[in-house]
Amino acid sequence: MMIKGLTDEDFLQYKKPAMFIISPYCTFKCDKENGSQYCQNWSLSKVKISNVSNDHIIKRYLNDDITKAIVFGGLEPMDSFEEVFSFIDSLRNKYECNDDVVIYTGYTEEEIADKINYLKNFKNIIVKFGRYRPNQQPHYDEVLGVPLASDNQHAVKIS
């Protein structure tokens, strides 16, 4: 799996302690729509991409007694969908782990409906939808258990 980074124990992205995997690609659709560079993750575009096996990441996750979920974020996980899907498939079927998997995406539900339908085949998948919009009040998201930056952002447990 191609990644920009990995945090073994993250306590900011989800209500449960989570491994945080930083996805390597993004079209920067938020900045294009906002008409300016607002993306808090812009600097990640300059970070080297690493290729780490799914098995290595999953074993690392399973050997950590603290983490109870995996979160994909950073740049845009849905721009690396095949790799994210393959990872979840391995986590669920090879390692028989049904812990929560959270995907932070800037896409809307309508833009990625086909991908969401594939993800519905797995248990305990949560997706945060919506692009970043500047100058909005953060709001608490009940599903994630954390604040989100823009009014249009929300999370849904899809399976």
Asked whether 142 and 126 are in contact (CB, 8 A), the reply is no
Q: What is the pLDDT of residue 100?
A: 98
Q: Over the stretch 74-92, which tens digit does the pLDDT of each residue have?
A: 899 999 999 999 999 999 9
Residue 47: pLDDT over 80? no
d(CA 86, CA 32): 29
The number of distinct structural domains making up the chain is: 1
Query: 26 or 157, which is more confident?
Result: 157
User: What pTM did the predictor assign?
Assistant: 0.92
Residue range(s) defining the domain that contains residue 99: 2-157
